[in-house]
Structure formats: C-alpha cells, structure tokens
C-alpha cells in the first residue's frame, strides 16, 4: 500500500537524521529537570553556598501533582519549541531541496504525502512524551510521594493531544509557507496568541486546547475526568483534523499551480 510505504520512508528518514535518538532524550531531560532540582533545592543551595550563616529557607511543600505539572509546564514552553523545530522543515525542506518534486512526480497522492509526514512525527512525539513523562513520574514517586500509574496514563493521553495539535499546526504552516524559519515563527506565534486569547476570554473558552493543562490539574485533584477536559480534548482533536485537511487542500492547490 502506498501510504504504508511513505510512512515507512518517513520513519526511516527520522531515524537516519537521528531525530529518534535526540528528541526523546531532550524530552526526558526537560521532564526530569524540574522534579530533580525542586527536590534537591536545599542541597543545591548548600553546595553553591554564598548564604550567610544561619539563613533559613522556608521551602514550600510540593505535592506529587504540583511536581508532575511542572514537567508539563516545561513541555508547554521548551517542548513546544522543540516540536516546532523538528517539524519546521519536514515539507518545506523537501520542497527546497527538490525531494518533494521527486516524490510527487510519481503517482503519489498529496493526501498520503502529508498524512505520512504527520503520522510519522506523531509517533515520534508520542513516543518521546511517553518516555519523558514516565521518567518524571518515576522521580515524582520516589521523591515526592505516590501518583498512580493510571493518573500517568491519563496525563499522557490528554497532554499528548495538545502536542499533536502543535504538530498539526506546524504541518499546516508547512503546506502554506516555504521557509522553515517562517514556519517556526508562525507556529510559535499562533500558540502564544492562542494562549493570550484563552487567558483573556477564559470564562467563555473553557474548551480551548490551551486549557488542557489546567483541566489536567483538576483531574488529578478531583480524581475524575471532568466534562471540561473531555470538551477541550474533543475540540483539540477536531482542530487538529481540521488543520490537516486544510493542509492537504492548500498543498494540492499550491502544487497544482506550481
């Protein structure tokens, strides 16, 4: 089947350019940094020194939920930037180097071309996010107290949807724009704008994708999946699908014209 072939080609390419190695490592690093430094903060302050004798620090007590949310907080900033970086050239770069012409001159449908790219990056992002959040969950359990495995799975599932949305946005801009730098900028600018708008109209937009993290906190605190979380999840999936369909449509139109 054509789709499978293209999908395998994308996976192989991401393996060859080492994304499968460095991206999961970076995601693990981002996720474990906060739990570790938070727990050892007194030690680190001691080791770095420079504090006058007798200084007493009142460090707040952190619950497991607080700490795993710190990892998600890092993902929402650095993670999103790295995802935008790994996906910024996936179509635009091939257009520039002429590879996409080599592929599309054969009877390859535009739909399969874009879907294979989207799917292969999704597999990579979900894999890396699973590893990273699992590592963070592991440290949280050792250092801060228990957080159930079910909770971890729920976090991965709902937060993964947000990462898929970021990826879909980047693929959409890949179809629309030609320069990888511009795609990176547009993706991040869109995410930032969305988060500002969500904050301003937060009472109306409780189902905005940006609200996924705050609904996840609620889920961890109340131990049940609220309707707002499901709403935000459904909207996120719908927006991702919409973005990909428009990406295919735009790409087809542009390539036909070129």
Residues of this chain that interact with another protein (CB under 8 A) are: 17-19, 21-22, 25-26, 28-29, 32-33, 36-37, 40, 43-44, 46-47, 82, 85-86, 89, 93, 97, 99, 135
What gap in Å lies between CA 9 and CA 100, rounded to an integer? 13
Do 124 and 52 touch, CB atoms closer than 8 A? no
Nearer to another protein, 46 or 101 (CB): 46
Q: How far is the CB of 6 from another protein (least distance, A)?
A: 18
Nearer to another protein, 78 or 217 (CB): 78
Nearer to another protein, 37 or 221 (CB): 37
What gap in Å lies between CA 247 and CA 173, rounded to an integer? 8
Q: How far is the CB of 39 from another protein (least distance, A)?
A: 8
Displacement of CA 17 from its chain's centroid (Å): 20
Q: How far is the CB of 135 from another protein (least distance, A)?
A: 8
Q: How far is the CB of 93 from another protein (least distance, A)?
A: 6
Nearer to another protein, 14 or 208 (CB): 14
Nearer to another protein, 97 or 227 (CB): 97
Q: How far is the CB of 121 from another protein (least distance, A)?
A: 14
What DSSP assignment string belongs to 164-226? Answer: HHHHHHHHHHHHH-S-HHHHHHHHHHHHHHHHHHHHHTTTT-TT-GGGHHHHHHHHHHHSS--
Q: How far is the CB of 253 from another protein (least distance, A)?
A: 25
Do 118 and 3 touch, CB atoms closer than 8 A? no
Q: How far is the CB of 18 from another protein (least distance, A)?
A: 6
Nearer to another protein, 85 or 205 (CB): 85
Nearer to another protein, 180 or 209 (CB): 180
């Amino acid at each position: 089947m054509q789709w499978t072939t293209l999908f395998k080609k994308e996976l192989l390419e991401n393996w060859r350019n080492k994304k499968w190695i460095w991206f999961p490592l970076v995601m693990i690093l981002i996720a474990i940094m906060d739990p570790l430094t938070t727990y050892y903060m007194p030690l680190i302050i001691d080791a770095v020194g420079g504090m006058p004798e007798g200084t007493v620090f009142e460090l707040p007590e952190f619950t497991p939920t607080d700490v795993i949310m710190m990892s998600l907080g890092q993902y929402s900033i650095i993670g999103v930037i790295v995802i935008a970086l790994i996906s910024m050239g996936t179509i635009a770069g091939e257009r520039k180097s002429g590879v996409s012409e080599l592929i599309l001159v054969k009877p390859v449908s535009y739909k399969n071309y874009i879907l294979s790219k989207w799917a292969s990056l999704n597999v990579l992002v979900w894999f890396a996010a699973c590893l990273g959040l699992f590592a963070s969950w592991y440290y949280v359990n050792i250092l801060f107290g228990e957080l159930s495995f079910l909770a971890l799975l729920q976090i991965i599932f709902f937060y993964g949807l947000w990462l898929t949305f970021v990826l879909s946005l980047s693929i959409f801009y890949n179809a629309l724009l030609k320069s990888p730098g511009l795609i990176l900028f547009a993706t991040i600018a869109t995410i930032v704008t969305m988060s500002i708008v969500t904050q301003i109209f937060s009472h109306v937009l409780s189902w905005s994708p940006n609200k996924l993290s705050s609904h996840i906190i609620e889920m961890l605190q109340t131990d049940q999946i609220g309707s707002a979380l499901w709403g935000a999840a459904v909207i996120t999936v719908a927006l991702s699908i919409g973005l990909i369909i428009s990406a295919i449509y735009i790409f087809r139109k542009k390539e036909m014209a070129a």
